[in-house]
Amino acid sequence: MFEQDFDPVNGSLALSSIFAALPLLTVFLLLGVLKMKAQWASLIALAVSIAVAVLVYSMPVGMALASAAEGAVFGLFPIMWIVVNAIWVYNMTVTTGHFDVLRRSFGKVSDDQRIQAIIIAFCFGALLEALAGFGTPVAISSVMLMALGFNPVKAAVVSLVANTAPVAFGAIAVPITTLAAITGIPAEELGAMVGRQTPVLALFVPLVLVFLVDGRRGVKQMWLPALVCGLAFAVGQFLASNYFSVELTDIVAALVAAGAVVLLLRVWTPSYELTAERMDEEEAQSRVAEASGNASSRRTSAAAGGTGTATKAPVADNGLEVFKAYAPYLAIIVIFTLAQVPFIKEALASGTVTFPWPGLDIVNPDTGEAPSATTFAFAWLPSAGTLLLLSGLLTMLVLKVSPAAAVKAYGGTLDQLKWAILTVASVLALAYVMNFSGQTITIGMWIAGTGTFFAFLSPVLGWLGVAVTGSDTSANALFGTLQVTAAQSAGLDPTLLASANTSGGVLGKMISPQNLAIAAAATGLAGKEGDLFRKVLGWSLGFLLIMCVLVYLQSTSVLGWMVV
């Protein structure tokens, strides 16, 4: 049996935290400074975490390896099971040409890329987050943006930054319900409190997306639709989480925001349109020669190995083809919505097999109980990946994709995502070793020892948890109880700090090696995860600072009226 020790170095949390932080520092240094490919950076960091677990935390070698094995399997299922099936659905639409139809349909709403970034990356991405989560929004929205003419780097960065405010209520509010189960605080209270924090982020995110696409000029010209979108999403998220349904919060917010932008565009148009033909400065310069010959631009969709064209000549798509183009995503929405119907949800839950992971005999020194994650839940039937697989089968029927073509597309998807699969498995293995050995808790307890100032640092714990695991749900499972305990000892509101863990966690999503690997694989940038990391790190830290200030003020008389 291995009893976790959270201060193994001289009984000091501060000294122990130095060693506990080594795996995280390793992966961020290798990615951000040395520009190493994510799969190798993750594997090296995993080796460091195992060494720290064995040499500093006295974890038996066998248990350290067993922890890594469980984490790797969890990375494969359910996480990559979700991503693979989501990208497979997309790839079939590319193969049949219906993704071009979808691109043209979105283009009719607006051919301005700044608007497209708002509608697709933020609104549609929020809807995908609400239904599936686990990297699906980044994977699908990034390739959709590429099909509309975005270059791969910009598509990936925009999608990563957009996947923030919706994350807390993602996958039908699983992060909230998990936090409620762990802390004992009602999910309705937690959801309402998070709904008074993340909407503040939503106000700014669309403006940032416009800036990423077109810089200061874009913000100056497109502040109105960006503000309308952010405000509509924020209001929808607040009202739904506080007065309607925590589980349906993101669905409501995404539809309200998209509807508000579409309605605005019926009565307002920008003075300057940034179309697929007027992209980045360097691209615009390269098109000068083409313009004289009336050459049409053509872009390659690296995610599918196929092509997505954006020609100047208009293409008329009939209603049936447009319906088929939207059908896969309609199928996803319908299937995931039906999966939440109580009796169907109960039936799906029966397809879950749970068992203690072999080789793990670990107890918490405070409770004397094993960490809940030592029991592995193989939810093969209710998994979002399985529901996406079903959506793919329906897509085959609607788009008339032959079984042979579908299997070929699936094989191509696995080949496309092979490095992302290795990266995600390595990152989750790293997370499990850090969690089971006690490294993550050491860092958390050290940060929690700051008294009332912990209100300011509370979101940082959530951010750290998501940066490591790639999941707000996992971060809540990891630090939820710690947040409540620290709040009680410091005389702070437990609901506020537990919610802050969730709200801060959403900002770690964009720098998580797991999400970076998914974005890179989807856009054909495998091996460029370090470049993406450097581009989004500043935004992650900037938003985190805003959340830290907000939570701190909510813990005082200044904004205390916002607390549930």
> What is the tens place of the pLDDT at every residue in 2-42?
999 999 999 999 999 999 989 888 987 887 778 788 788 88
pLDDT at 229 over 70: yes
Neighbour-count burial of 364, counting CB atoms closer than 10 A to its CB (0-12 exposed, 13-18 middle, 19+ buried): middle
The three-point CA angle 127-132-133 to 5° equals 85
The three-point CA angle 444-448-449 to 5° equals 125
- The top-scoring range by mean pLDDT among 55-59, 217-221, 349-353 is 55-59
pLDDT of residue 547: 96
CA atoms within 13 A on the CB side of 301: 28
- The top-scoring range by mean pLDDT among 13-17, 422-426, 486-490 is 13-17
Task: Return the percentage of the chain with pLDDT > 90, whole number.
Answer: 42
Q: pTM of the predicted model, to two decimals? A: 0.75
pLDDT tens digits, one per residue of 280-330: 544 544 343 333 333 333 333 333 333 343 444 567 778 888 899 888 878
* Backbone dihedral angles phi then psi of residue 546, each to the nearest 5 degrees: -60, -45
Question: Model confidence at 212, in pLDDT bands (50, 70, 90)?
Answer: very high
- Residues 253-257 have a mean pLDDT of 94
Which residues 6+ apart lie within 8 Å of 407 measured at CB? none
Which DSSP string do the residues of 458-519 spell out, in sequence order?
HHHHHHHHHHHHS-HHHHHHHHHHHHHHHHHHHT--HHHHHHHHHHHHGGGGGG-HHHHHHH
pLDDT at 478 over 80: no
pLDDT at 182 over 70: no
pLDDT at 46 over 90: yes
pLDDT of residue 311: 42
The candidate with the shortest Cα–Cα distance to 471, out of 147, 175, 61, 67, is 175
Choice among 63-77, 84-98, 464-478 with the minimum mean pLDDT: 464-478
The candidate with the shortest Cα–Cα distance to 165, out of 245, 248, 241, 234, is 234
Contact 251, 235 (CB under 8 A): no
Q: Which residue bears the tokens 């998220």? A: 237
pLDDT tens digits, one per residue of 95-108: 998 888 887 787 77
